[in-house]
Each structure stands twice: as structure tokens, then as C-alpha cells.
Amino acid sequence: MNLKRNNLYFMKVIAFILYRAVAIHLFRSSTPVVGKYFKKVRGLLASVMFKKMGKNVNIEQGARFGFGKNVEIGDNSGIGVNASIPADTIIGNNVMMGPDCIIYASNHKFSDINTPMNQQGNTPPLQTIIGDDVWIGGRVIILPGKKIGNGVIISAGSVVTKDLEDYGIYGGNPAKLIKSRKDL
């Protein structure tokens, strides 16, 4: 049992090193001729690191997800170019993510006014859950512990500070409901 666990950990470490040293820098999946192969390389390495990885997942160039601990991603979903995904993130099926998206897991502590903020540490990490059939525009920021409902659209550059209800179209800083997709 211990040997099996050690081998799995070793495989994750090797996958992490290969991903960060090589695969993260490979061309985008849309690059003619070679892109589809680079997509497979990144996907293979991510599948070793992630807790769960669905079919037909696209991990784009520059995407960062640390060691991939407790990251789950569903079928036909993608992590955008230069996106940053922390541990304990669940991404549903059929999720589109634009470039430069950031999902945060924790925040700086700042409640003690007698101690400099940079010496107070961080809050405990919180899990972020992204539902199915979600479109996250480019440069969206999602703060710790938020739940994005099914069928949600988040416009580019938005900052998600609260949970988002199913089938809503959200935008702004902070992200606010613009319209329900059910009303279209």
C-alpha cells in the first residue's frame, strides 16, 4: 500500500516537473499542425496531477494549477491561456475559460491593525466550484470559495465576489447580474 502511494506521488512529481519545465511553454492548441499534439501533451501531464480529468479537456499554453491537488475538470472543458487555477477547484462539463483568468483560493489576513498585513498570513483555502456549461470571459477574477452556477456567462474583466445563480449573465467589478439567459 505504501509503495503504491509512493509511486503515485513520484509520478505526480515527475508530471509536475515536465509540465512546468516544458509543456506549459508549448504553443497554443490552435497553432496549425502542432497545436493538437501539444494539447495532448499538456492534457496527459495534467491528468496525472489532477484528482479527476474528463474527456476532451484542453489545458492551454501557460495555464498554471500548482501541483493539481484536488483539481477536477469535466468533459469538454478548457483552462484558458495563462489561467491560474488553485488546488481544490472543481470545473464542470462544457466550461469555456478565456485567457488570463485567475481563481483565488485564499486571501491575506488583515484584521490585526497592530501587525503589518504582510506578517498576518493567509486565510484558510476555500474550494471554488464552477458548474456545467459555463463561459468565463478573458481576465475574469474569481475570489475564494465562490460557486458559479450552471449555464452562467461572466463577461471579460469581471471580478466575482459572490456566488452566481444558474443561467445568469454577469459582468462588472463586482460582477452583477445583467440578465438571465432564460429571458433571452
Strand pairing of 176-180 and 168-171?
antiparallel
**Residue type at 71 in one-letter notation:** V
Our answer to whether residue 25 is catalytic in this structure is no
Checking 53-59 for CB contacts under 8 A at 24+ apart, the result is 54/93, 58/29
Catalytic residue among 36, 108, 109, 179: 108
Omega of the bond leading into 86 within 30 degrees of 0 (cis): no
Start-to-end CA span in the chain (Å)? 54
Residues designated as active site: 108
